[in-house]
Amino acid sequence: MEIKTYVKSDLVNSIQSKYNNLPARDIERIIDVIFKYLSNCLVSGTSIEIRNFGCWRIKKMKPKSARNPKTGEIISVGEKNKIYWKSSKFLNQRINKNIEK
């Protein structure tokens, strides 16, 4: 089974096929504005929730020790932020609907 990656141009083309009166460049600008707004929310520490799709939030990762696989040297990795995404119950049900148990 081949898995296709859905990229931004696919999104633009899909929206344009439904709303052919909108130019593709305007659709792309709208998508860019939405993604920029969402990423700015995450940068500022605001969680994002889109009903029936999922939630994004920032988790603080504690400092830890790691090992350089090439040299074996132990290095210290400082505290950092990580994006955490949790899919909605509705989306999980849709994804798992076709899986036979």
Q: Is residue 48 part of a domain?
A: yes
Domain count, the chain: 1
Rounded distance between C-alpha atoms, residue 100 and residue 45, angstroms: 39
- Domain that includes residue 53, residue range: 8-96
What's the CATH number where 44 sits?
4.10.520.10
Q: Is residue 101 part of a domain?
A: no
Q: Is residue 14 part of a domain?
A: yes
pLDDT in tens, 8-53: 999 999 999 999 999 999 999 999 999 999 999 999 999 999 999 9
Q: pTM value?
A: 0.75
Q: Letter for the amino acid at 101? A: K
pLDDT in tens, 72-101: 999 999 999 999 999 999 999 999 987 755
The pLDDT of residue 98 is 72
The pLDDT of residue 100 is 56
The pLDDT of residue 25 is 95
List the beta strands (DSSP E) in the chain.
Answer: 48-50, 54-61, 64-67, 74-77, 80-87
The pLDDT of residue 2 is 83
Residue 65 has pLDDT above 60, yes or no: yes
Q: Is residue 27 part of a domain?
A: yes
